[in-house]
Structure 1
């Protein structure tokens, strides 16, 4: 989702690459990848050695997560793991004490506000990304993140219609904080410009999380359920996975097994120096459908070999 160069300086590429390869002594080896500027698509991820088909390239923990509104009582509010709701409690659920503890970076602030109007707005408009903006705002207010937390990610181009739609969401977000007695000095970052900037980045960098399950039986039940209903448990934003460019015939895919921790695996053999690419959309769509979705949703025309061949 890296279609930009102007806002990403070369020294950021170098520092990020160094961070990827800096490992604790207890870890076996660094991931076989580097982040560099491509000739035509902004940043990209490249193999530093040969990677075999099916190999786990690296894992990634999310920067932000939020459950789908339909799964608020059936998945962990922090890691999105499926859990069995407690029929005697209507409180939001956590799958472990660790997740409950880790959620303090946003939950102490988030739990102070009444989000019913904001959630109703998202539900009625079919929106999911404002939920991630809400969570980020809570992290900033709590002091766990800075206002420019996601600025390194690629921004999307926003139409006037999109900006107009965002204004209603922004208003509801700010009202929820005001009614929760969040102090003005804690909300100095919370402007329409900040909200639009965050959503423009979340919009093309967020991943739709569909858990594969932990067993063959889980996979079968998930496949059956997907015929009847939305199987996404939520959405998440990552750092490194967001640097992977798109291809309609990708050599890498992302898998979520039990929670929002992403696993990136090679779909086929990849040679040293080859760019690693994922598919942002449903690969089974026709060429025209793919081009439309990528243009409208991500702001670019795909020129991968599959599209150029007309397949």
Structure 2
């Protein structure tokens, strides 16, 4: 990876991996920017009002460190890794997933970047990715209706380029996968590895890429990935297009984030995630939140019935929801 690309990646994503998890979350969540020459330190934005702690029944969670008002932006988060959906790949930026109006400057594969900054930043994966022929891998994902292997492929290219450590997702909770599921993942693993081998990327760069690594990463992505449903121009657009968010066609891609992955589920959440124009996530309060209260999001469509919610959460996320709404049978 070029020094310029490395600098841009660090600037965009910040410190994503450290042995001290709580230092990681503090820096990753901080939305403050350095004050300009005309600003004092006291006028700079404050760090986000949150902390990560262990809950009584749901593992790690995110808690408010002060009162948060309804509608407040709690913090923003940039993805560790993201990838456009195959159906949207020609209509969004290949790096940040922002919608693009034209395909001017599109690459031979048919995708494009929204700006020079995204084009330069994409070198953290694209300098490796463009060396291989991914037709068979993409066809496998398309015909099988799979989206998460695309994130694994992009992460693998980031690791090969030196932009990310192979264990960057190890801190995230993995989904429970059966032996049958692992067997079904093998085809994707072999297609990914073969694509890199045929591109003459040596073993010294791909030694991490074992079947165990592939299945471990995929298990973590399955339970922690966010579907980026809308990339609107302004926040008000999200309100007028809310009904579109439940349609598959509204998704522009998928992404993995660090801190947002620690938000636990609630069928009557006090927080939600919105995407204004690209893959940068905004965590916003749905109602007033008291100091010390846990911040929770809804992993699924809140309008579904009790039985439907329980079924999806059990099959897709591996837990029975015992939130107040579910306990009441609503």
TM-score norm. by structure 2 comes to 0.86
The verdict on how the C-alpha distance between 1:200 and 1:278 changes in structure 2, with shifts beyond 3 A counting, is same
CA apart distance, 1:216: 8.2
Q: 1:115 to 1:14 in 2, by over 3 A?
A: closer
Determine the structure 2 residue equivalent to 1:43: 60
Decide whether the 8 Å contact of 1:51 with 1:266 is kept in 2.
yes
Q: Residue 280 of structure 2: which of 261, 273, 276 is its match? A: 261
* 1:33-60 alpha-carbon deviations (Å, 9 max, x no partner): 0000111111000000000100110000
Q: Is the 8 A contact 1:13 1:35 kept in 2?
A: no
Q: Secondary structure at the match of 2:292?
A: coil
1:310 aligns with 2:329: yes
**Larger relative contact order, structure 1 or 2 (CA cutoff 8 Å, min sep 6):** 1
Counterpart check, 1:193 vs 2:212: yes
* Aligned CA distance change for structure 1 residues 183 and 88 (closer, same or farther; 3 Å): closer
Contact 1:13 1:36 in 2 (8 A): no
SS in 2 for 1:169: helix
The 8 Å contact of residues 51 and 271 in structure 1, kept in 2 or not, is answered as yes
Displacement of 1:28 after TM fit?
1.0
- Superposed counterparts of 1:249-288, under 5 Å: 249-288=268-307
- For residue 32 of structure 1, the aligned residue among 44, 49, 66 is 49
**Partners of 2:307 and 2:197 in 1: CA distance:** 46
Select which of 241, 250, 263 maps to 1:244.
263
Alpha-carbon distance in structure 1 between the residues aligned to 2:291 and 2:272: 18
Q: Distance in 1 between matches of 2:304 and 2:322?
A: 16
The 2-side partners of 1:255 and 1:140 are apart by: 28
Structure 2 distance, partners of 1:292, 1:265, is 27
Task: Kindly state the Cα deviation for residue 84 of structure 1 after the two structures are TM-superposed.
Answer: 1.9
Partner SS state of residue 250, structure 2: coil
| Corresponding residue of 1:296 | 315
Structure 2 contact 92–99 (Cα < 8 Å) conserved: yes
Structure 1 length as normaliser, TM-score?
Answer: 0.91
Alignment of 1:1-311 (within 5 A): 12=20, 14-16=22-24, 18-19=26-27, 20=29, 25-26=34-35, 27-86=44-103, 89=106, 90=108, 91-215=110-234, 222=241, 230-311=249-330
What's 2:40 paired with?
none
Distance 1:14 1:175, change over 3 A: closer
Shift of 1:85: 3.1
- The structural deviation recorded for 1:211 is 1.8
Quick one: distance in 1 between partners of 2:169 and 2:248? 31
Q: CA deviation at 1:149?
A: 1.1
RMSD of aligned alpha carbons: 2.2
Residues of 2 paired with 1:204 and 1:112: CA distance?
30
For the residues of structure 1 that align with 2:84 and 2:262, how far apart are their CA atoms?
Answer: 23
| 8 Å Cα contact 2:234-2:277 kept in structure 1 | no
Alignment partner, residue 16 of structure 2: none
- 1:259-307 CA distance string (max 9 Å, x none): 0000000000000000000000000111111011011111111000001
Segments of structure 2 that go 5 or more residues without pairing to the other structure are 1-18, 36-43
SS of equivalent residue, structure 2 residue 82? strand
Query: Counterparts of 1:203 and 1:227 in 2: how far apart (Å)?
Result: 19
Q: Check conservation: 1:53, 1:268, Cα contact below 8 A.
A: yes
Contact 1:212 1:218 in 2 (8 A): no
